Amino acid sequence: MSAKTGKRRRQKRYAMAMDPRQCVGCAACVLACKAENEVPEGAFRDWIVDEIRGRYPNLQREFRSERCHHCSNPPCVAACPTGASHVAEGGTVLVAQNKCTGCKACVVACPYGARYVHPKGYVDKCTFCAHRTARGQDPACVEICPTNALTFGDADDPQGSLGRLLASRAHRKLKEEAGCRPNLYILAKGGQ
């Protein structure tokens, strides 16, 4: 809705789709993130999961690039005693460093292990590269991916690249039973 109609602008829901059919587990996303966000040595905001299922010789292998799920019902934000963890533009879950006490309630609240304690004492995590998306750029991990396995966008915009992708491909989310309403979509390997 535009400002002209007098209606409130629709809230964006920033989300990411990752395609295990494309991902080869090269970890370029991990390194791009580390460089872009000056993530300290030994810490990571995103990571690669390599999952193998089945019984030899019928094995299935899936690579996934994972990060914070920027949940719509984020348990980390509910657990934060100081308001440092908060929901920002597009539903992105961020940490205000100057308010963080390093109590780690958010770290243990998160069922995805997406948060870590920065050596400077505050808790740090994926921001969906808010500083880049504000300029209209993709997050660093998305931009660098050599196989285009990652798509970032507004999941509630049916005309956007992410909306169209999610409409055309079957997908799942991880640990949905934890009730956090995560926003990281794993596209199905089979199908079209």
CB 140, min distance to another protein, A: 15
| CB closer to another protein, 13 vs 45 | 45
Binding site for another protein (CB under 8 A): 25, 27, 30, 42-45, 47-56, 59, 75, 77-84, 98-105, 107-117, 120-123, 175, 177-180
| CB closer to another protein, 15 vs 80 | 80
Question: Which tokens is 29 given?
Answer: 């996303």
Query: Contact at 8 Å (CB) between 94 and 75?
Result: no
Query: Contact at 8 Å (CB) between 110 and 126?
Result: no
- What secondary structure letter does DSSP report for 185? E
Residue 15 CB: number of other CB atoms within 10 A?
Answer: 26
CB 28, min distance to another protein, A: 11
> Cα(114)–Cα(67) distance, rounded to whole angstroms?
6
- Give the 3-state secondary structure of residue 191: coil
CB 146, min distance to another protein, A: 16
| CB closer to another protein, 91 vs 153 | 91
> Cα(37)–Cα(29) distance, rounded to whole angstroms?
12
Question: Which tokens is 33 given?
Answer: 């993130």
> Cα(86)–Cα(4) distance, rounded to whole angstroms?
30
| CB closer to another protein, 113 vs 146 | 113
CB 34, min distance to another protein, A: 9
| CB closer to another protein, 111 vs 163 | 111
CB 160, min distance to another protein, A: 29
- Using DSSP bridges, classify how beta strands 14-18 and 184-187 pair: parallel, antiparallel or unpaired: parallel
